[in-house]
Structure 1
């Protein structure tokens, strides 16, 4: 319910405190933001929306904004409350209320219950609007109040009217004040959010603490400031730097013009050196002429033409080589002839050698008899001469014949090689003849008709002394070989000349590239000088707009640099303030919050209750606790407590804050439903039965009729007349909640007394039974808190509940037997239970108390005096102190 604007206003008040020593520019910026808060709050950090808005606003208005603290619109709650109790609320048309509806709020405890959608939330939002001037849900959902608060069927809303009783018991109108009444409300949503605090990173826990106190809107508002606004400001002299760079370029241009003569002289020297690198007397112009170009060819083009011509190849055919090949072939031919003649002369020996070889080949198969006649080699009848021995002797005598045969094979191979070598020479000669177009000459025809693989003495015709007119002689071929040799000599000379031409061409090509680079260098210099002269003459005209921008940029920097510095400091301070919020909110709450937490968790083991509680003072601090069972050991509450215990801690902190500021009112807006059932009894006892909040008005909305009933049952007798119950139900078609203002008392003892006063003993006993059950449970719990909780009970059977009288008997016996137990409530309890138990069990009263009061025909009348005794005894028992641990 706390609006970010009012929290921001408190920040500004803090910012203007002299001890903080905040610069004037920062205070002026904060004042400017506050003056435009509504528009500023609509912006976010997304796409730098907030920094863009702030930049435009600061540029226009910061200089005219005062640095004095604005007039405070909120009051600080300091215990001086303008009233002590609410009196009446009239609401409607407003949200779920279509027509005006008055609510009497004069009682200290106001209990409203009803089903969901019956108007409880609208009632609380009416109180919220009347006390705070706004409704948090409308702000969270960013819905305009006129839309959110309007009744759907009336299409409008009327501000609720709230009156109260002041300290002089006068009726006064309640004026909405966010700051004063912000901590009067305890909401379910806040406790739900606080229970999830353990799942948040440490840096975000301060935001949830702020949410617990209804200050999350301010935390969210602070979170939407961008880290910096420099991106939207002019902080650096970029235009000036650009102009200076251009002026530096202009200075370079002037230097280029001034150094023109020196550069040209240096270029002349470079060109002369380049020409001299060719030859001492060469000039640069002469060098360019020597190199030439496509338009005017020179020596380089001439050399390219020469080198592009196909050079002569060295054939390698000579007279000596051809003659040597011819002689080698002839010599090998003659050698083969001599060997063949020798072999022919010994042809008979060749046959014997073959015979001897065959005989020896049969020795392995026919070794014991003659292979020709089968005569045994040994024995009575045997051959005259051993054929195998004779073969071995014969082969030994013919060994030179074998060598002669091997020489023949070798000579024939050598002859083939020499023949082919000669034929190769003839092939080379044939190509030469063909290249010179001499195919039709005698030599050409001879060479052309030679087979590729000639056999025998194919060159014999060259040796014939009787030659025909078309025959070719060896001398003619040798003459062609001489012509080839002459051409080869010329080709060698041409190759040597070609290499000299290549070297000369490469040298000229290298000079050509250097000349081109040198010419380009001169051209660039001339162009640079011309361009520099043009820029110098046109600079001011060309940069007139930039010069004006530089002047404006200086003014912009003088304006924006203070804005940037002020924003950076402002952001630091507002974040520091937000980080300090937990300390400001929770200061002095440790003891009270811990005491309430332990009361909420009355059923926990004593070792699991808190001995110390340390609430955070900054956004980075933890909630530390010390358990009674581990004295001196501080642990992080959010790591060790269950979600249910964390919810109890959140509620305890809120109520401790209300007590701290001495709030006259606490409104529980469905807050009880945020607490699990296990803790509701402890919370009910701490809030409604103990003395924690006796000086506060308590307004509770809840859809649980059972919880409302329990409050009424356990409310101390002296406070029951200060409790009012209101029932809200759904409309019946007119869209206006149905309201029952005089709900009958829900307390069983009150109901029993009312029925007895009407002489309705049946109803009196029915309520008495329920009252006795409630008081007996309360007594048993009180005894357990004093270590007297173990009772011996008789059961009617397996799975049966103990009879109420048996429980009362067991309690009475336990109290009487506890001789060492002394307490002010002990004797009254013994007396009261003794009186109850003293009624005979067979009496009709106990029949009803034990089994309930059901309709039965022909039943005897009740013993009126006994019924009165029961009711009086219950009233006495109700007045005894039975709070646990008391």
Structure 2
């Protein structure tokens, strides 16, 4: 897929406006495609490889773009269907098997793991020349993927086709012609998964659906340009020489500039010394700051003074203590008043609690009295209503309680602050009489503790008096600490001032040293340049041609990558151009059982960045919705399938190869998709090759079609493997079409089995095709009788009802006799349906011993009548 798509991209470069160098890069990529595909942008793998390839092949690679491989996309007598496939050894086929595909419909059934995918990959390789799964699994050598693992051999599959003139001809792989013949279930799965992810990824929907993921990844791994990290675009020697010449020119300028710098520095030193003190020189200033062997210097002295620690303040004051005392006393007094009021209202508080309790049980017993369980409709007074009214009256009690609670909180906070002051005093003053008054966590200071502070101690003083004295003492200590801190701040300010001067001294000294060194170096560089750089000058001259070529390579590469990305981004729009109406028609066919309001009026596919998959419904065709927001995953899958099938139709592909639709389609859409494929006109005349692992799906397809059409199809069954490591195929598998199976049993004189299949056929025809036929041309409303609520529809009753509808004069089908006649023949067998055969048809029978034999002639007539009905409805 990558190679084929890249070859199509190359054709866009066949223009006189495209520089030859860009085509040269494109040909280098083509020539080394297998080596480049596995490389990514990680650590520059891809771009480094491109540089190495371009440097090696630039002069030998051509600029002409080779045409697409010799493929005939428009043939005088194009292939209209496949006739046969000879495959093996190939993937799961250890030896050759030949499949007769000479039918418009090829149906292949087999459980998972029996080899259906190997069959489809043989078709894919024979038609396209590649296998997408091998590419996705990173097989660099396609043969390694295709060869049989047990035989370690591989033979090219041989495909024979029938052209429009009816002639047999071998098919040559033609990716451009047959690429849209395949409907991949994995792509539909990926389409639905991406659709379930972030909207930013919706632009990938179309690329994923058409299998362009690998090509997109291949394109993304080209970095936009080649920079100087990977290729020399300036000339390493020339740059080195240029830098040195700049150094030489700079050295002369530097010599001049640094001599001026030295003169400027002398003046700045004088100014700095006079800024510090008018009567001092720069050298004296340096000595005064930094000291000498005998004296440490002013900065060191201040640093030593500032090393001395000052104590931490206690931050307690007599004023704060007094305010705290007054607050506690006031709040205690107010609390006593509030508690007195609450005591007076004690009976009301009890009633309030009672009413609150009644209100709380209302949710658990909303319809009965909570005390006596009497229904509320019978009580004189509703207890819940009465409780609510009384609680409203007692609202002032809640206010009293809240006020008391708030006062208790304020008192508690004040006592906490007071206990912290006591703890501070005890921590800072030793042998403290307040030690016994400390409150150690988790205990809390309470009113009793407050009262204890005002009781006299053994020394005659109360703890409160000691506390007041100690707080005053600590407050005085804090004042002394403030004075020491102020002195320290003054010294700190002076130290910072001196350090500022010291930093300026260091800067001037550093500049002086730098200028001295620069003067010496510049003088030496000027003296030695010509001798030292003779070889470098010669090398710089020699590399000019290489650098010029590298710049051309880098420019051509950037232009190539830009055009490749433009091609990639335009692919989705090209692939789905003019598909909208067909997609809508197919989607609505898939969802024909939905209401008309849920079917689509139009669809906008995401073709560019930031576009979303938009749909409009028939009920409101002007309003568009984000499809991912309003559709289920099953409907999203239907859109993906509709796009692929629409492309198949748009390209007039002769084939439709669908690998295992059971996996790609949800249960609710399988019947309608079968009808779209085989019953509608979309794919008339197109050869359909379909594989599936669901036996019911396989059976339903064969019974959706007429027996005549099924007899013309080619069914195969892939069987579970036994001991042999080879795909087992039943080329003569038993028919799943009930009428064909019934005829087959009848031919073998297996009368009972023929009748059993006839019952299946009758049930399928009446409940499906015949009833639908009646609805199309007449009144499809039937009146059916059932023996019990679990009974199945009796087929005799159903058939008679349908016969009566068809026989009416107003039935619209003018050619109804072709169906009515065999239906009446069928019902006429056995009179009123009492024959053994009809009893069996009507409801089947259990196994019984010594049963009377079924009449072969009657069963034959049944099978014939069913075949006639099926043929007429086919």
Q: TM-score range by the shorter chain?
A: 0.5 to 0.7
The answer for the alignment partner of 1:541 in structure 2 is 531
Residue 722 (structure 1) aligned with residue 712 (structure 2): yes
* Kept after mapping to 1: 8 A contact 2:777/2:812: no
The answer for the alignment partner of 2:137 in structure 1 is 141
Which residue of 165, 173, 177 maps to 2:174?
177
1:540-619 aligned within 5 A? 540-544=530-534, 547=537, 550-551=540-541, 554-618=544-608
What is the RMSD of the two structures over their aligned residues, measured on CA atoms? 4.3
Residue 742 (structure 1) aligned with residue 740 (structure 2): no
SS in 1 for 2:603: strand
The answer for the alignment partner of 1:803 in structure 2 is 794
* Kept after mapping to 1: 8 A contact 2:774/2:805: no
Rg bigger for which structure? 1
> Aligned partners of 1:517, 1:603: CA distance in 2, in Å?
89
The answer for the alignment partner of 1:625 in structure 2 is 615
Per-residue CA distance 1:804-861 (angstroms, 9 max, x = gap): 11222333344556x7662356565554444444441223332121122555455455
1:245-284 aligned within 5 A? 246-255=244-253
Residues 702-711 or 529-538, more deviating: 529-538
> Aligned partners of 2:744, 2:22: CA distance in 1, in Å?
69
* Kept after mapping to 1: 8 A contact 2:614/2:625: yes
1:6-155 aligned within 5 A? 6-17=4-15, 21-73=17-69, 75=71, 77-78=73-74, 82-143=78-139, 144-155=141-152
Which residue of 233, 245, 249 maps to 2:231?
233
Structure 1 residue 519 displacement after superposition: 11
Residues 648-657 or 528-537, more deviating: 528-537
SS in 2 for 1:727: strand
Question: Structure 2 vs 1, CA of residues 865 and 97 (structure 1 numbering), >3 Å: closer, same or farther?
Answer: closer
SS in 1 for 2:40: coil
Per-residue CA distance 1:452-486 (angstroms, 9 max, x = gap): xxxxxxxxxxxxxxxxxxxxxxxxxxxxxxxxxxx
- Structure 2 gaps of 5+ residues are 298-500
The answer for the alignment partner of 2:522 in structure 1 is 532
Structure 1 residue 269 displacement after superposition: 10
> Aligned partners of 1:512, 1:745: CA distance in 2, in Å?
105
Residue 773 (structure 1) aligned with residue 769 (structure 2): no
Residue 687 (structure 1) aligned with residue 677 (structure 2): yes
The answer for the alignment partner of 1:427 in structure 2 is none
Per-residue CA distance 1:253-286 (angstroms, 9 max, x = gap): 4356679999999999999999999xxxx9x9xx
> Aligned partners of 1:291, 1:802: CA distance in 2, in Å?
118
* Kept after mapping to 2: 8 A contact 1:164/1:172: yes
Aligned residues: 665
SS in 1 for 2:729: strand
SS in 2 for 1:232: coil
> Aligned partners of 1:621, 1:290: CA distance in 2, in Å?
78
* Kept after mapping to 1: 8 A contact 2:777/2:813: no
SS in 1 for 2:722: coil
* Kept after mapping to 2: 8 A contact 1:6/1:74: no
Residue 843 (structure 1) aligned with residue 835 (structure 2): yes
> Aligned partners of 2:271, 2:686: CA distance in 1, in Å?
109
SS in 2 for 1:626: strand
Which residue of 191, 194, 198 maps to 2:195?
198
Question: Structure 2 vs 1, CA of residues 516 and 232 (structure 1 numbering), >3 Å: closer, same or farther?
Answer: closer
The answer for the alignment partner of 1:458 in structure 2 is none
1:626-645 aligned within 5 A? 626-645=616-635
* Kept after mapping to 2: 8 A contact 1:113/1:704: yes
Per-residue CA distance 1:356-390 (angstroms, 9 max, x = gap): xxxxxxxxxxxxxxxxxxxxxxxxxxxxxxxxxxx
Structure 1 residue 104 displacement after superposition: 1.4
- Structure 1 gaps of 5+ residues are 295-299, 305-510
* Kept after mapping to 1: 8 A contact 2:758/2:863: yes
Question: Structure 2 vs 1, CA of residues 191 and 246 (structure 1 numbering), >3 Å: closer, same or farther?
Answer: same
Which residue of 667, 670, 673 maps to 1:677?
667
Structure 1 residue 7 displacement after superposition: 0.4
Structure 1 residue 743 displacement after superposition: 2.0
The answer for the alignment partner of 1:794 in structure 2 is 785
* Kept after mapping to 1: 8 A contact 2:206/2:607: no
Question: Structure 2 vs 1, CA of residues 259 and 602 (structure 1 numbering), >3 Å: closer, same or farther?
Answer: closer
Question: Structure 2 vs 1, CA of residues 553 and 799 (structure 1 numbering), >3 Å: closer, same or farther?
Answer: same
Return the TM-score normalized by structure 2: 0.67
Per-residue CA distance 1:417-461 (angstroms, 9 max, x = gap): xxxxxxxxxxxxxxxxxxxxxxxxxxxxxxxxxxxxxxxxxxxxx
Question: Structure 2 vs 1, CA of residues 754 and 546 (structure 1 numbering), >3 Å: closer, same or farther?
Answer: same
1:289-368 aligned within 5 A? none
Structure 1 residue 555 displacement after superposition: 4.2
> Aligned partners of 1:613, 1:244: CA distance in 2, in Å?
63
SS in 2 for 1:880: helix
SS in 2 for 1:15: coil
> Aligned partners of 1:201, 1:78: CA distance in 2, in Å?
41
Per-residue CA distance 1:653-700 (angstroms, 9 max, x = gap): 222222222222222211332111221111111212333323222222
> Aligned partners of 1:207, 1:79: CA distance in 2, in Å?
34
The answer for the alignment partner of 1:431 in structure 2 is none
The answer for the alignment partner of 2:370 in structure 1 is none
* Kept after mapping to 2: 8 A contact 1:191/1:650: yes
> Aligned partners of 2:274, 2:607: CA distance in 1, in Å?
90
> Aligned partners of 1:802, 1:549: CA distance in 2, in Å?
98
Residue 880 (structure 1) aligned with residue 864 (structure 2): no
* Kept after mapping to 1: 8 A contact 2:778/2:812: no
